């Protein structure tokens, strides 16, 4: 009888859901691989078999949060979120670029 190698890993639907959820919640690949199967899973095996779930989980979570932030920013009820959105998405700044604090502003005489 010949030597047998390790049993091939075949992911279950439950594992796929778990990986996607953990990725959405910001868990690292190392953390996910340590809990996905009893005794852990090599990080390379995780990425090989769950690439779609790792990518989709994080992307879908970011989309939900961005949608919420956008809704808050455009509602008129959350001025801080409006400012945050404009600074991070529209390139707005607190003061014009290139203006020195020591010099008066062009419209100040």
**What separation in angstroms does the CA of 40 have from each of 2, 8, 20, 32, 102?**
27, 14, 17, 9, 59
- Residue 39: per-residue pLDDT: 83
pTM: 0.71
- Report pLDDT digits (tens) over 6-54: 678 899 999 999 999 999 999 999 999 999 988 889 999 999 999 999 9
**Backbone φ/ψ region at 93: left (φ over 0), alpha (ψ -120 to 50), beta:** beta
Q: Can you state the angle between helices 13-24 and 43-75, rounded to 10 degrees? A: 50
**What separation in angstroms does the CA of 73 have from each of 17, 65, 67, 81?**
31, 12, 10, 5
């Amino acid at each position: 009888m010949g030597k047998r190698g390790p049993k091939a890993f075949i992911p279950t639907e439950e594992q796929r859901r778990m990986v996607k959820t953990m990725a959405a919640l910001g868990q690292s690949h190392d953390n996910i691989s340590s809990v996905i199967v009893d005794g852990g899973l090599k990080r390379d095996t995780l990425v090989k078999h769950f690439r779609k779930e790792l990518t989709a989980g994080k992307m879908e979570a970011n989309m939900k949060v961005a949608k919420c932030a956008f809704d808050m920013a455009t509602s008129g009820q959350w001025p801080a979120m409006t400012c945050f959105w404009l600074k991070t998405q529209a390139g707005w700044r607190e003061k014009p670029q290139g203006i020195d604090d020591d010099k008066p502003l062009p419209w100040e005489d």
